[in-house]
Amino acid sequence: MILVLKPGVAVAEIRAIEEAVRRAGASPVLIEGKERCVVAVVGAARADVREFELLAGVSQVLRVTKPYKLASREVKPEDTIVRVGDLSIGGAQVVVMAGPCAVENRKMLLETAQRLSGMGVTFLRAGAFKPRTSPYAFQGLGEEGLRILAEAREATGLRIVTEVMAPDKVELVARYADVLQVGARNMQNFDLLKECAQIHKPILLKRGLSATVDEWLQSAEYVLQAGKNRDVILCERGIRTFETATRNTIDLNAIPVLHERTHLPVIVDPSHGTGVRAYVPPMALAAVAAGADGVMVEVHPDPEKAVSDGPQSLTFEMLERLLRDLEVIAPVMGRRLDLSSKRPAPRPARGKAHGDAVAFQGEHGAFSEKAARQFFGDAVKTSPSPAFRNVFEKVTGGECEFGILPVENTLGGSIHQNYDLLVEFDVHIVGETKLRVVHSLIANRGTRLEDIRRIYAHPQAAAQCEKLLRAHPEWSVLQVYDTAGSVKMIKEEKALDAGAIASADAARRFDMEVLKEGIESDPRNYTRFIVVSREPAKKGDKVSLVYGTANRPGALFRTLEVFSKHGMNLAKLESRPIAGKPWEYLFYVDAIEDLPNRQVAAALKALREHTTFLKVLGNYPSAP
């Protein structure tokens, strides 16, 4: 049973509700979500539904139909994002966990960790305690292995995922690990799961070799039930089937099934899933395409010599190639694989944004906010702003450390206003991110497609959904400057003849109905966002400039010649009329270079000789 609380319920009322649950012989677990708060009634309650309904602060009592409660979407509709330091699992980022099957020795583990961190991997996996089918096989280094893992974390900053096999070792492993793995063979070791429920470290729960999804979720429930540990990551690692061509059969079906039934993040381990090195990359890509929140793969400096699981371990070269492919696939799924640590310069003040807000234009739920999470991570604090100008003002005025702004869309073209504001305000571009934009037609519940007469859309969104709008001449399209805000507006109006174009996220946030998803005219719809700050980035491979040239023959050509001579690859050139100076233009340039600072300075010096006005908008790491 779950008790849905009224919005704005008082703390005293919550305490009284919890007390009533205890009196009925069950345990209350309070789950505070963005959209709603609920008290889950765990255990068999002796009270009637009606008794709970009458409690002050309770708006609704729901029966949970599944054998698991705290793991179910019914209890917690929004996704759980598991945080590990400044990293998160289950949010905008796709995570990659990689490492050898076992900690074999200190040298090999430290070398592996260095290689992985150089590639931009953020989690190191390796077993110190190994569950081996044969008692004669290598059993792991035990605590010595844990010490080596901790040393690898010290040296590289990688977070550690390692297995715990016995209930009496949970406390020991938790002292060293960032994430504790419960292996497939232990998925139903209930004493182990109960111990895992008592700690405050995330548990990576692998699927048992012959466990159904519901059995697996009941095991997750064991970890969640005490209400102390809320962080379980589910890991599909292949199940036993009649097929013998592969070690196991990866059940990719489980990914959408789990996303429907539970709020917990789901990752896939194609190494144990296939048992064959060559099959690992395609299945890792398939997992992300199917909606997995991450992958876990085995990698070894010399797989032929690995003490365990060599045949399924990737070489470093194979992993590097896989990461590149994942980086390309992730944005198609509306996610991002952050391999930023391999970029030449770390992102400016990254992490600082966790304390200071990032300004964006629009209401919560806007695409710009999603882009901010994609760039800074899910823990970022965001500051909604009515207009683009306000975003610039918040940054220059010191109210926000960063601002995030759309500058270009693959269907709608450039967002010129932001180009103009970049000239007007004294800010630096410090980074960029590209977001796949999937639009939805959103309406109040009860509205049918044929009832719609008015559509509220941002001009950019309308341009991106132009085909659908053209097919419905009976709709009048009204301009708004806030996609998520227009959803809120028709909700407040209770309009039954109106629709809004925004993200499915915005629909969820305002509890509205999605009438049609994916209404953009072409699925390859991406928006490029820039991140601005008062302080410049230290270094990057991309330079953005704006300049004017004298009005004489060859003037523009001279400037372009400078880029070519200095080995800078011109990625974009855009001209804009100068406000107040009819028929005079500014040129916006993006150039990709990977030059020492000195050479960039020389190129800019040469450029100054051929321009009447020049402003460097930023030198920052380009987005993949």
Residues in contact with ligand PEP by the rule CB under 6 A: 101, 127, 131, 183-185, 206, 237, 272
**CB-based contact 562:610 (threshold 8 Å):** yes
Cβ proximity to Mn ion: between 206 and 439 the closer is: 206
Closest distance to Mn ion from the beta carbon of 100 (Å): 8
Q: Which is nearer to ligand PEP, 159 or 370 (CB)?
A: 159
Backbone angles phi, psi at 282, to 5 degrees: -60, -35
Nearer to ligand PEP, 82 or 101 (CB): 101
Cα angle: 196, vertex 197, 198; to 5 degrees = 90
CB of 211 or CB of 530, closer to ligand PEP: 211
Of 307 and 606, nearer to ligand PEP (C-beta) is 307
The CA distances from residue 346 to 102, 599, 622, in Å, are: 31, 20, 12
Determine the size of the site formed for Mn ion (CB under 5 A).
2
Q: Of 547, 538, 620, nearest to 588 (Cα)?
A: 547
Smallest CA-to-CA distance from 431 within 347, 543, 331, 330 is with 347
Q: Given candidates 178, 309, 482, 590, which one binds Mn ion under the rule CB under 5 A? A: 309
Question: Which residue's beta carbon is nearest to the bound ligand PEP?
Answer: 183
Q: Binding mask 265-304 vs Mn ion (x if CB under 5 A, - otherwise)?
A: ----------------------------------------
CB of 158 to ligand PEP, least distance (A): 16
CB of residue 290 to Mn ion, shortest distance in Å = 22
Q: Cα separation of 117 and 115, whole Å? A: 6
Which residue, among 253, 375, 235, has the nearest Cα to 294 in the 3D structure?
Answer: 235
Catalytic residue among 162, 274, 483, 527: 527
Q: Which does 146 bind (CB under 5 to 8 A by kind): ligand PEP, Mn ion, none?
A: none
From residue 3, give the alpha-carbon distance in Å to each of 22, 49, 229.
13, 9, 20
Ranked by CB distance to Mn ion, the top (closest) residue is 101
Picked from Mn ion, ligand PEP, none, the partner binding residue 183 (CB below 5 to 8 A depending on kind) is: ligand PEP
| Beta-bridge partners for 181 | 163, 204
Indicate the helix (H) or strand (E) that contains 619.
Answer: strand 613-620
Q: How far is the CB of 240 from ligand PEP (least distance, A)?
A: 11
Kindly tell me which of 146 and 184 has the beta carbon lying closer to ligand PEP.
184
Beta carbon of residue 198, minimum distance to Mn ion (angstroms, whole number) = 27
Whether 613 sits among the annotated catalytic residues: the reply is no
Share in percent of the chain as helix, strand, coil (round to 5): 35, 25, 40
Nearest to 116 by CA among 95, 99, 104: 99
Which among Mn ion, ligand PEP, none contacts residue 184 (Cβ within 5 to 8 A by kind)? ligand PEP
Q: Which one from 129, 529, 563, 587 is the annotated catalytic residue?
A: 529
Q: For the chain, how many residues are written?
A: 624
d(CA 358, CA 376): 9
β partners of residue 38: 4, 31
291 binds, among Mn ion, ligand PEP, none (CB under 5 to 8 A by kind): none
Asked whether position 29 contacts Mn ion by CB under 5 A, the answer is no
Told to judge if 527 belongs to the known catalytic residues of this protein, a careful annotator would answer yes
**Binding partner at 237 among Mn ion, ligand PEP, none, C-beta below 5 to 8 Å by kind:** ligand PEP
Quick one: 131 or 351, whose CB is closer to ligand PEP? 131
- Give the three-state DSSP class for 359: strand
The answer to whether 618 touches 537, Cβ cutoff 8 Å, is: yes
Distance CA 293, CA 335 (A): 9
Q: How large is the C-alpha radius of gyration of the chain?
A: 27
Q: How far is the CB of 220 from ligand PEP (least distance, A)?
A: 15
Could you say which of ligand PEP, Mn ion, none residue 5 binds, taking C-beta under 5 to 8 angstroms by partner kind?
none
Residue 101 engages Mn ion in binding (rule: CB under 5 A) = yes
| Shortest spacing between CB 68 and ligand PEP, in angstroms | 21
Query: Which residues are known catalytic residues?
Result: 527, 529
